[in-house]
Copies of this chain bind each other. A is one copy, B any other.
Amino acid sequence: MQIAILLFDRLTALDAVGPYEVLSRLPGADTRFVAVEPGPKQTDNGVLALVADHATADVPSPDVLVVPGGTTGVEVSMNDDRTLDWLRAAHETSTWTTSVCTGSLILGAAGILKGLKATTHWAAMERLRQFGAEPTSERVVRQGKVITAAGVSSGIDMALTLAAEIAGPDIAQAIQLGIEYDPQPPFDSGSPQKAKPEIVDALRALVGRRSR
């Protein structure tokens, strides 16, 4: 089972590494980090690079496709024909096509979300409409073989859901135990419905500035 995780400059590291840490533990997983041009890809803040060992051109038909999000990196990918052409072709033969955070905007730009319910980072939710998708405020949204996940850390939940679909609940639970995913955040502030309104407003303003 070939799993391709797309990398590009200015991605959000946890969007990619969360699903990777789960899916690469599936029995028989052949996990490949791919990029249009292989090599080190800087994260959104420029302090870390993740290395893509494979060119997208060399991984044309993965079984599982994972598209992470990011800030400016997403805007570039949404307008990059080589990225979008690869995604469209890979999606034709994939068993699962997935995204984390604003990675769904890249799927959208490739035309993959037309007519589907989908999610993304809460602050980018309305942008899904321009691709004909129906914004859906759930952590993991499945529509046939397309699974989109909410912001950044939600990729872990998405990948565990997918692991259960692929290999059954016992394997998924073993992976959850292996990465000791027994979350105990010290605050209950992880969604705009739960966080203090002034924190939501401040962050929405900040995200708006960054993506413009």
C-alpha spacing A17/B48, complex, angstroms: 9
* Known A153-B179, A181-B185; further 15 A-B contacts with Cβ < 8 A: A14-B17, A14-B179, A40-B49, A122-B180, A152-B180, A154-B180, A154-B182, A173-B187, A173-B196, A173-B199, A174-B195, A174-B202, A176-B195, A177-B203, A183-B190
Which of B21, B47, B156, B189 makes the CB contact (< 8 A) with A176?
B189
6 shortest A-B CB distances, which residue pairs?
A151-B180, A182-B190, A173-B189, A183-B183, A49-B51, A152-B179
Shortest Cβ distance from A91 into chain B, in angstroms? 22
Chain B residues whose CB sits within 8 angstroms of the CB of A174 once the complex forms: 189, 195, 199, 202-203
B186 touches A172 (CB 8 A): yes
C-alpha spacing A161/B140, complex, angstroms: 26
Interface size of A by CB at 8 A reads: 63
C-alpha spacing A79/B177, complex, angstroms: 28
C-alpha spacing A200/B49, complex, angstroms: 34
B152 touches A21 (CB 8 A): yes
- Residue from A17, A45, A196 with most neighbouring chain B CB atoms (10 Å): A17
